[in-house]
Chain A
Amino acid sequence: MTTLIVESDHGLIPHVPTHVETFSYDNAVVRLFAIATAGWGIVAFLVGLIVALKLVFPELLGGIGPLSYGRLRPLHTNAAIFAFGGNAIFVAVYYSLQRLCKARMYSDRLSAIHFWGWQLIIVLAAITLPLGFTTSKEYAELEWPIDLLITGVWLVFGWNMLATVIRRRERHMYVSIWFYLATFITIALLHVVNSLELPVSLLKSYSMYAGVQDALVQWWYGHNAVAFFLTTPFLGAMYYFIPKAANRPVFSYRLSIVHFWSLIFLYIWAGPHHLLYTALPDWAQSLGTVFSIMLIAPSWGGMVNGLLTLRGAWDRVREDPVLKFMVVGVTAYGMATFEGPMLSLKNVNALTHYTDYIIAHVHVGALAWNGGLAFAMLYYIVPRIYGTKLFSLRLANLHFWLATLGILFYVIPLYVAGITQSLMWQEWTPEGSLRYPNFLETVVRLAPMYALRAVGGTLYLAGAAIAVYNLYRTARQGVFEPGEEASAVPLQRLVAPGGSSWHRVLESRPVQFSLLTLGTVFVGGVVEFVPTALIRSNVPTIASVTPYTPLEVEGRDLYIREGCVGCHSQMIRPIRAETARYGDYSKAGEFVYDHPFLWGSKRTGPDLHRVGGKYPDAWHFVHMQQPSATSPNSIMPAYQWMYVDALDTSHIEGKIITLRRLGVPYPEGYERRAEADLRVQAAGIADGLTRGGVPARGDREIIALIAYLQRLGTDLGKVPAAAGAEAAAHTIGSGGQ
């Protein structure tokens, strides 16, 4: 027994042959996105905290328009989702995709364009939103030029990713890659469809859809944005980083594949559950519910798969902050994906919708699932790209506990708040009248919960700050390696028997047939129906419903600018408690001129759909100057600036024209009379106020807002005039009186 290695001289001294490609992973772009994630994360949490505090101290930063609640709230949501979440996604993709494909990103230039483009978008959002340039569609508030920019940058991202996948050196596409690709394709489509809008000016546009349609499209988008922006990419990351960090293969790879495909085939349809009890037809609502329920299966499949991967590694979980955050995140994903379908059940929804319960629900997802995974990734990646260990485990653990506590302090009070308020809204006296007819009573009751929530937010923010410091010190102590050397063998197109190509697929006739038919049917559908859909959508079905007067249009745009929709819904559901409190329930036909729809999704304040004529103009005038004057303890901020700033009517002509293009029946040439009509109506309101002892000037913004509020929901009461444009013109003409 002498020679143990057969012919050991045959090239057995390891060597690197010529056909092997040596390349480097682009860590630079990963680093940039990581920094962006951390930075924007702090911003998002901070703005969130400010907004939360404003509910406790309404006067906080009072009197400054750009810092008012209504304008900061969308800034917070956008920063959290697109700045923090978005950059986290790109960290995950750019780090794991390269390694899974054994290839550097396709183009460093595209990577750079993607990074800087995305940051530009965020900055623009951070400027325009406080300035009040918003479409008011949730998570899609940004105005049309930025929408275009987003589309472009997103396509760059997709192009870069696809090209990398095509050039991969690993034959098998690991499941994470599928999740990433799904994210790109779906979000691109959602964004485009939902952002169809007609510009009035550089920073003002009207949604192509009106009322119910707009609502449906918006929530189809809204739901799927959550699905494909905050879920699928993070699932992809989960399937990469949990095994890597735990140094264990995923519990069941087959399950992960099934998870992906079932999620893909189900998720896209669950949107309508956001519109339960709204003017959406029943069957569409039930559809949303059914599919939301069905979603539990794949979602939990994913959660179980993630957690079971760690079975036998719990000792590691105790030490490793990466795994800790992963575990919390995945568990929260499970909770949220169970809670979501439950919330989509009609009776549950009746109780929870419009309340803080939903806010709690989304923050379980955002803080624990997205936040948890994002920080886990940062803790995993930063030490590696800097070739060092994490600066301080103790700080990381501190962060973990602060974050966990923060989440609890945030979520629990809001669950309580949601239930409490909802029950108060629906509580009856023995005589059969509302026990709390005054909405404010139900708000005051929530003050302590709101305070606690702010504490939770503070804790979470503190944790994040510590994390940033920890990561910064980690980077400091290490040496950044911009290009990580690696070598791999390129894929070759060998026609291996058994392995087949498109020809083979198309040979199997049924597949070919089905694919072609499916394709044509859907393309046909788009081509044929889109135009009709958009035009038919604007045919009024309730004769008495007429277009807004120019002043009301301006008032409505102010309502949008100030983000009133963030706290006030305009959708009275056919539930006794609501009709008793707000008046007749909302009909789909009442919204046909609403570009965009303003149904809202949260009632921090009362619903306003039937507020028109409920109070005298003077009440509104005083209320918005000093809310507590008319409603003691109100947590609504004051809007002094609307009393100082003159109403900008420079765009009214364009607005009328644009709206007419969208199908609002303003008579031809009316745009030229619009300004005059506006003045007349404004003057009328101002005189009325002055006569009533409240001196007011007709050229101030507040007048327009009052005009709009007084118009809200009043159409049904009107005597149906002769249908058609004259009727519209008539009402408009006689608008002021």
Chain B
Amino acid sequence: MVGPADAAGMSVIVLLIAAGGLVAGGFLCAFVWAVQTGQFDDTCTPPLRMLGGDDPRDATPSPSPERHLHDHADR
């Protein structure tokens, strides 16, 4: 219906796939690295840690522990 979807026109798709593939492959490697180095071992502490004040005089946060534990237990 779209007329002669000409071959020539599409060869660029290969380029895009290659380019996209490079990125995807790169991210895959990053993923493997992250898992292997234990980046995702503990998913409970980081969200709380980032709330911590950046210097001692800062205020630290107040997530209620129950809520947090629930989050942990529930998934």
Contacts and interface: CB of A to CB of B under 8 A. Distances in A.
A217 B23 CA distance: 16
Interface in B24-75: 24-34, 36-40, 42-51, 54-55, 61-63, 67-68, 71, 75
A730 interface: no
Interface residues of B, number: 58
Nearest to B40: A257
Q: Is the interface of B mostly helix, strand, loop or mixed?
A: helix
Contacts of B19: 189, 193, 526
Given A193-B19, A533-B14, A541-B4, A279 B9 contact: yes
B50 A500 contact: no
Given A487-B55, A589-B4, A530 B15 contact: yes
Q: Is the interface of A mostly helix, strand, loop or mixed?
A: helix
A282 B21 contact: no
A499 B42 CA distance: 13
Contacts of A189: 19, 22-23
A536 B8 contact: yes
A586 B2 CA distance: 8
Contact of B46 (A182, A253, A284, A511): A253
Contacts of A102: 54
B51 A244 contact: yes
A279 B3 contact: yes
B4 A587 contact: yes
Given A172-B39, A172-B46, A249-B63, A529 B11 contact: yes
Contact of B11 (A193, A501, A537): A537
B68 A282 contact: no
B29 A281 contact: no
A205 B18 CA distance: 25
Interface stretch (A292-300, A451-459, A514-522): A514-522
Contact of A174 (B2, B46, B62, B71): B46
A100 interface: yes
B68 A501 contact: no
16 contacts: A99-B54, A174-B50, A217-B16, A220-B16, A244-B50, A247-B61, A249-B61, A251-B71, A279-B3, A281-B10, A282-B5, A505-B33, A522-B21, A525-B17, A533-B14, A589-B6
Interface of B: 1-34, 36-40, 42-51, 54-55, 61-63, 67-68, 71, 75
Interface of A: 25, 99-100, 102, 170, 172-175, 181-182, 185-186, 189, 193, 209, 211-213, 216-217, 220, 240, 243-244, 247-254, 257, 261, 264-265, 268-269, 271, 277-282, 284, 312, 484-487, 498-502, 504-505, 511, 515, 518-519, 521-523, 525-526, 529-530, 532-534, 536-539, 541-542, 574, 585-589, 592
